[in-house]
Amino acid sequence: MKALLVILASYASAGLAIAVLLAAYRSKKAERYLISDDPHRSKSDRELYWRAALNSAVSIALIFSVMFGLADYLYYDYAVPAWRYLLEAVTVILIYDFGYYFMHRYPFHEWKILRGVHSVHHAARNPRVIDSLLLHPVETVLGLGLFFGSVALVGGVHIYTLGALFVTYTAFNILNHAGVDVPQFPLKTLGILAAKHDRHHHSMRSGNYASITPLPDIIFGTVE
């Protein structure tokens, strides 16, 4: 039951973020915060929405299969000290973020092996929220596989920790593609992340490869 609540919480947070951003795109007052007035997308609307629907179906099927089929490897539900929740969360984030950095930089960008797969996502030069779903299904599977693999690598986490991590993972995938840069608190940090990811989308040779934190890009000198 708690696993289902984790999934529903992540979808609720995603739905709220998408609804707020779609409203912002239509608002005259929010126009000044748009990073670009056009996504400069090389895909038609028909393909965009087909990709979005396909990847939504793939992610839903994979998430439910993994959360219930591999429960013993991902989470537990018994009392632990408060420090352990934080340690689990930080460890998973670091494993995931560095893992994503190397996958994103090399197979997706610098090597030919998955460049064609990732180029689907780069069809949007100035992404909007819908472009978080403009993906090849292989990239969807690899991204979710890396997230759940990072959780399994630490031996599983508390179900509440997994809930917080999954909501964060889902929200950042959406907010990175918001296309909105609000320089005022409390949205300034999210605006910086969206602006960095927007620059990443300008070219297949751009930097800013990390997903959740800028730490890997800072360490390896790929901040743009």
Surface-to-core class of residue 175, CB atoms within 10 Å of its CB (0-12 exposed, 13-18 middle, 19+ buried): buried
Predicted local confidence at residue 219, as pLDDT: 96
User: Could you list the pLDDT tens digit for every one of the 224 residues in the chain?
Assistant: 788 988 888 888 888 888 988 888 888 888 889 999 899 999 999 999 999 999 999 999 999 999 999 999 999 999 999 999 999 999 999 999 999 999 999 999 999 889 999 999 999 999 999 999 999 999 999 999 999 999 999 999 999 999 999 999 998 899 899 999 988 877 788 888 889 899 999 888 888 999 988 899 999 999 98
Q: What is the pLDDT of residue 190?
A: 80
At 130, the amino acid letter reads I
User: What pLDDT score was predicted for residue 6?
Assistant: 86
For 165, the domain range is 2-220
Contact 204, 109 (CB under 8 A): yes
Which positions ≥6 away from 207 have C-beta within 8 Å?
A: 199, 200, 217, 222, 223, 224
Identify the pLDDT of residue 107: 95
Provide the domain count of the chain: 1
Which tokens in the block code for residue 57? 């179906």
